[in-house]
Amino acid sequence: GESVGLHLPTLSVQEGDNSIINCAYSNSASDYFIWYKQESGKGPQFIIDIRSNMDKRQGQRVTVLLNKTVKHLSLQIAATQPGDSAVYFCAENNGSNDYKLSFGAGTTVTVRA
Amino acid sequence: GAVVSQHPSWVICKSGTSVKIECRSLDFQATTMFWYRQFPKQSLMLMATSNEGSKATYEQGVEKDKFLINHASLTLSTLTVTSAHPEDSSFYICSARTGGVNIQYFGAGTRLSVL
């Protein structure tokens, strides 16, 4: 079936380095994507979103890239900090009007001091 | 802005009892609220979509008589786990969105443990 998934389940990064988290999706009708950060025992926290009519969007220390040709989404975190350690989920809306999101499996990011 | 409050954060109950979880949007009117279930080290699984004043829409495989959802106002939705059993133990998370915006803002989650 169609799904949103991640290339790697875990990522270990040195503090201060840049992190890149990848996500693959298979639904070509998806027109909206979100990245969430979830810390242990907490609910997901919105990081950044992007619509399918864009290929790049920047926030504070984060950049989301969307490649619709290969159905690939990535989240780049600049100068990764210990507080960035968490599970990161990509989510997509399939273009329907019900506003439902489908979540990927999640990538666990661990920042090494 | 866009704060969603979920209560309680943690509940332990005996098998066969019912548990109610509240989800409130504190600073916006939530046109739609969603309820998710998350098992350890897994992703979020959508259980149901709740629109204010109408019946909830449940995802395939989710028992509507088991998981009662009420969305009585634009700022409050409740999930009641009826006749809870140990297999219902999980992390339940709600989210809310407002009109015209796709972003879902999440509550902090409720850890349910059924003995």
pLDDT tens digits, residue range A33-82?
A: 999 999 999 999 999 999 999 999 999 999 999 999 999 999 999 999 99
Q: Which of B6, B32, B42 sits opposite A99 (nearest CB)?
A: B32
Q: Which residue of chain B is at minimal alpha-carbon distance from A34?
A: B103
The answer to whether A99 contacts B109, with C-beta atoms less than 8 Å apart, is: no
Residue B64 has, within 13 A of its CA and on its CB side, a CA count of 10
Q: What percent of chain A has pLDDT over 90?
A: 82
Phi, psi of B37 (to 5 degrees): -125, 140
B1-46, pLDDT tens digit by residue?
689 999 999 999 999 999 999 999 999 999 899 999 999 989 999 9
pLDDT of residue A1: 29
Question: Structure tokens of A83?
Answer: 């507080």
pLDDT tier at B99, thresholds 50, 70, 90 = confident
For chain B, how big is the Rg over CA atoms in Å? 13
Interface of A with B (CB under 8 A): 32, 34, 36, 41-46, 49, 89, 93, 98-106
pLDDT of residue A2: 34
A82 in helix, strand or coil?
helix
pLDDT of residue A99: 87
Angle value at C-alpha A82, between B42 and A51, nearest 5 degrees: 60
pLDDT of residue A108: 96
The answer to whether B103 contacts A34, with C-beta atoms less than 8 Å apart, is: yes
CA distance A84 to chain B (A): 18
Question: Is A97's pLDDT higher than 90?
Answer: no
The answer to whether A44 contacts B6, with C-beta atoms less than 8 Å apart, is: no
pLDDT tier at A84, thresholds 50, 70, 90 = very high
pLDDT of residue A19: 96
Q: DSSP letter at B103?
A: P
pLDDT of residue B114: 97
pLDDT tier at A8, thresholds 50, 70, 90 = low
Chain B residue numbers touching A99 (CB-CB < 8 A): 32, 49, 97, 102, 104
Q: Which residue of chain B is at minimal alpha-carbon distance from A37?
A: B106
Question: Structure tokens of B101?
Answer: 């915006």
Give the mean pLDDT of B92-110.
92
Least confident of A37-41, B13-17, B50-54, B110-114: B50-54
Question: Structure tokens of A108?
Answer: 């666990």
Q: How many Å apart are CA B40 and CA A36, to the nearest integer?
A: 17
Chain B residue numbers touching A49 (CB-CB < 8 A): 102-103
Mean pLDDT over each residue of chain A, to the nearest integer: 91
Beta strands in B1-115 (DSSP E): 4-7, 10-13, 19-25, 32-38, 44-51, 57-58, 67-73, 76-81, 90-97, 105-106, 110-114
- How far are the Cα atoms of A13, A48, A64, A75, A81 from residue A17, in angstroms, in the given order? 7, 20, 17, 14, 8
Chain A residue numbers touching B57 (CB-CB < 8 A): 98
pLDDT of residue A4: 57
Give the mean pLDDT of A11-24.
96
pLDDT of residue A5: 55
The answer to whether B109 contacts A43, with C-beta atoms less than 8 Å apart, is: yes
pLDDT of residue A6: 46
pLDDT of residue B72: 83
